[in-house]
């Protein structure tokens, strides 16, 4: 145990990721008026930039449109493990889809690691890429058999997996599955270098340019707040798709989780770790190339359903119990969307959208899946086939889909009713003290109020613009989060995460 005062100190650490803090911000210009390209890629995370790079390598004329700055979304806040080992997944995939599809999912993810490595070599990118093993471990005797089943499934699928009882971690585990030849890297260093290659090839990257609509026709048109781009094909890589013809909102589940970094002399330098049981834990070694810097993550929950400050405290307490912590330099939180059967949705955007393609639902494993998706989306945009199209097919129906959809949508209905009951009957019109929030009613409508530390009162409509659920305050991130499908909004109502595209209406800020 250390003297970091971790549990009480949670609020004093800045909430910025180590990847953002160790790279310079970008400054690509916004779109200035109308234009055209062969392919427009909307979204500058790992999915969009991988697609743009591949398209650029193939000689296509590409324009990337990013609402904020590139690689500052989920990809700028990941833990950056490159692995095909996505927790205990292969036993599940084998029984859900059969051995062939399970093997292809593994192949797609291992190939994605090799794709990253090839580009690191080709463009000589200094991004701390190195190979290491991935472990999924259990500390519970009851889960030992599950690890054993996973090893059996993985080896039957030709994954180089082994059952082990020792790991380089400084605490005991009951059992683990170890997969060799996985990798870790610095995602921003890698992707910012790829963006440069895209621009150097004569293509455009527009930052501060928000796509608001995609209109299909003979050619597709991406309408943005800075002008309209016409293109033969459009890749939608906005994390949650801004175009939802396949009703993804009812099949994507937002999962928010937390990360702290610790500086410690007893950090293992080898391996990346994921705990098989609740509470979820993820450990990533050699962060930003530093031997003594470790990521400890976990405490995930459905967006809008957890006390974020408490989650940080628990994570910091856990890190402090397991390691000799000298300091905790960074902490941050972000969210990813999972699918009912745990395979992402990547492919055609849906009926009436010829030439428009989407990639989403990476379930916490978008470094490899996002890379595979970027390659697949680029192939589709070029009119070519891709070996993994069938694996990620967004039209698939799987055994677990219907059951999970019923459960999730029952929960959404409950949130809707309870949210409105609280919004209309709840806290009346009492305004909050500094640093606090309230849902209040005014003229029979619910509003979210937040008074900042300077005493300024910020008011927004509490009705989520996606499908009218009532938002909840997230005290650690200072945002309004929707408990139904995971949209998040700034204090003054601007959208942070979809599916909502429009911000919360904002009656103004008062002293």
Residues 446 and 426: their CA atoms lie apart, in Å, by 9
User: 421: exposed, middle or buried (C-beta count within 10 Å: 0-12, 13-18, 19+)?
Assistant: exposed
Span interacting with ligand FAD, options 77-85, 90-98, 155-163, 451-459, rule CB under 6 A: 77-85
Any contact of residue 241 with ligand FAD (CB under 6 A)?
no
Q: Which of 297, 338, 355, 493 binds ligand FAD (CB under 6 A)?
A: 297
CA distance 43 to 242: 10
Distance CA 420, CA 159 (A): 49
The verdict on 360 binding ligand FES (CB under 6 A) reads no
For 130-141, give one letter per residue: b (16+ CB within 10 A) or e.
eebbbbbbbeee
Site map (CB under 6 A) of ligand FES, residues 133-172, x = contact: ----------------------------------------
* Binding of residue 60 to ligand FAD (CB under 6 A): no
Binding of residue 66 to ligand FAD (CB under 6 A): yes
Cα-Cα-Cα-Cα torsion 150, 151, 153, 157, nearest 10 degrees, comes to: 130
Alpha carbons 98 and 396: distance in angstroms, whole number:
14
Least spacing, CB of residue 98 vs ligand FES, in Å: 34
Q: Where are the beta strands (DSSP E) in 185-330?
A: 204-206, 211-215, 220-224, 227-236, 253-264, 272-275, 281-284, 293-302, 325-327
Cβ proximity to ligand FAD, 214 vs 449, nearer residue: 214
Residue 299's binding partner out of ligand FES, ligand FAD, none, with CB under 5 to 8 Å set by partner kind: none
Least distance to ligand FES, CB of residue 214, Å: 20
**Interaction mask 425-464, ligand FES, x per CB under 6 A:** ---------------------------------------x
Stretch of 195-203, 369-377, 452-460, 481-489 lying at the interface with ligand FES (CB under 6 A):
481-489
Work out whether 316 is an interface residue with ligand FAD (CB under 6 A): no
The answer to whether residues 495 and 442 touch, using CB atoms and an 8 Å cutoff, is no
d(CA 239, CA 110): 22
| Dihedral in degrees, nearest 10, Cα atoms 393, 397, 398, 401 | 110
> Judged by CB under 6 A, does residue 203 bind ligand FAD?
no
Q: Are the beta carbons of 23 and 188 closer than 8 angstroms?
A: yes
Minimum gap (Å) between residue 463 Cβ and ligand FES = 9
Q: Is 201 in the site for ligand FES (CB under 6 A)?
A: no
459 - beta bridge partners?
449, 508
User: Per-residue x/- mask for ligand FAD, residues 27 to 46, rule CB under 6 A?
Assistant: ---------------xxxxx
Q: Is 499 in the site for ligand FES (CB under 6 A)?
A: yes
501 forms part of the interface with ligand FES (CB under 6 A): no
Q: Report the Cα 111 to chain-centroid distance in Å.
A: 20
Among 125, 346, 487, 496, binds ligand FES (CB under 6 A): 487
**Is there binding between residue 405 and ligand FES (CB under 6 A)?**
no
Q: In angstroms, rounded to a whole number, what is the distance separating the alpha carbons of residues 173 and 141?
A: 10
Selected binder of ligand FES within 466, 476, 493, 496 (CB under 6 A): 466
Our finding on whether 252 is near ligand FES (CB under 6 A) is no
Nearest residue (CB) to ligand FES, 221 versus 466: 466
Q: Round to whole Å and give the CA distance between 118 and 91.
A: 30
Burial class (CB in 10 A: 0-12, 13-18, 19+), 126: exposed
- Binding characters for ligand FES, 269-288, by CB under 6 A (x = yes): --------------------
Of the pair 282, 437, the CB lying nearest ligand FAD is at 282
Separation of alpha carbons 78 and 60, rounded Å: 29
Binding piece for ligand FAD, criterion CB under 6 A, among 63-71, 384-392, 415-423, 466-474: 63-71
Please identify which residue in 20, 156, 162, 467 interacts with ligand FES, judged by CB under 6 A.
467
Q: How far apart are CA 335 and CA 45, in angstroms?
A: 14
Query: Among 380, 389, 378, which Cα is nearest to 59's?
Result: 378
Task: Give least dist CB 337 to ligand FAD, A.
Answer: 8
Interface with ligand FAD, residue 336, by CB under 6 A: yes
Tokens of 472: 């909840």
Binding ligand FAD by CB under 6 A: which of 4, 56, 115, 238?
A: 238
Interface residues with ligand FAD (CB under 6 A)? 42-48, 65-68, 72-75, 78-81, 210-211, 237-239, 242, 257, 259, 297, 334-336, 362, 364-368, 370
Interface residues with ligand FES (CB under 6 A)? 249, 464, 466-467, 469, 482, 484-487, 499-500
């Amino acid at each position: 145990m250390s003297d970091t005062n971790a549990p009480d100190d949670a609020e004093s650490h800045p909430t910025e990721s180590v990847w953002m803090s160790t790279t310079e911000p970008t400054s690509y210009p916004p779109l200035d008026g109308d234009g055209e390209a062969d392919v427009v890629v909307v979204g500058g995370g790992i999915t969009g930039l991988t697609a743009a790079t591949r398209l650029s390598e193939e000689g296509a004329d590409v324009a990337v449109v990013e609402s904020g700055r590139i690689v500052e979304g989920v990809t700028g806040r990941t833990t950056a493990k490159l692995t095909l080992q996505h927790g205990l997944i292969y036993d599940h995939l084998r029984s859900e889809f059969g051995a062939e599809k399970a093997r292809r999912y593994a192949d797609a993810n291992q190939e994605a690691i090799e794709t990253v490595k090839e580009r690191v070599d080709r463009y000589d990118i200094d991004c701390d890429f190195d190979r290491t093993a991935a472990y999924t471990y259990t500390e519970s005797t009851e889960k030992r058999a599950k690890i054993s089943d996973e090893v059996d499934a993985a080896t039957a699928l030709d994954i180089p997996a082994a059952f082990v009882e020792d790991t380089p971690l400084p605490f005991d585990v009951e059992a683990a599955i170890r997969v060799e030849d996985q990798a870790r890297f610095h995602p921003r260093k890698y992707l910012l270098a790829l963006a440069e290659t895209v621009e150097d090839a004569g293509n455009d990257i527009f930052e501060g340019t928000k796509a608001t609509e995609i209109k299909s026709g003979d050619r597709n048109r991406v309408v943005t707040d800075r002008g309209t781009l016409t293109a033969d094909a459009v890749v939608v890589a906005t994390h949650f798709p801004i175009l939802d013809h396949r009703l993804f909102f009812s099949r994507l589940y937002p999962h928010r989780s937390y990360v702290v970094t610790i500086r410690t002399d007893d950090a293992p330098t080898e391996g990346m770790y994921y705990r098989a049981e609740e509470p979820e834990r993820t450990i990533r070694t050699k962060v930003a190339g530093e031997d003594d810097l470790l990521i400890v993550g976990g405490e995930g929950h459905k967006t809008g359903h957890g006390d974020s400050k408490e989650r940080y405290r628990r994570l910091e307490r856990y890190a402090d119990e397991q390691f000799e912590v000298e300091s905790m330099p960074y902490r941050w939180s972000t969210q990813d969307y999972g699918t009912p059967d745990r395979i992402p949705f990547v492919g055609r955007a849906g009926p009436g959208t010829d030439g428009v393609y989407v990639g989403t639902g990476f379930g916490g494993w978008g470094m490899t899946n996002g890379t595979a998706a970027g390659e697949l989306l680029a192939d589709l945009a070029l009119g070519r086939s891709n070996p993994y199209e069938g694996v990620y097919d967004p039209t698939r129906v799987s055994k677990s889909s219907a059951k999970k959809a019923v459960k999730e949508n029952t929960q959404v209905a409950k949130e809707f009713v309870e949210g409105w009951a609280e919004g209309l009957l709840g806290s009346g019109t009492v305004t909050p003290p500094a640093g606090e929030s309230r849902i209040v009613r005014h003229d029979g409508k619910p509003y979210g109020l937040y008074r900042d530390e300077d005493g300024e009162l910020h008011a927004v409509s509490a009705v989520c613009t996606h499908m009218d659920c009532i938002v909840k305050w997230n005290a650690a991130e200072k945002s309004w989060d929707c408990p139904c499908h995971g949209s998040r909004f700034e204090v003054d109502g601007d959208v942070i995460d979809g599916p909502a595209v429009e911000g919360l209406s904002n009656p103004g800020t008062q002293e």
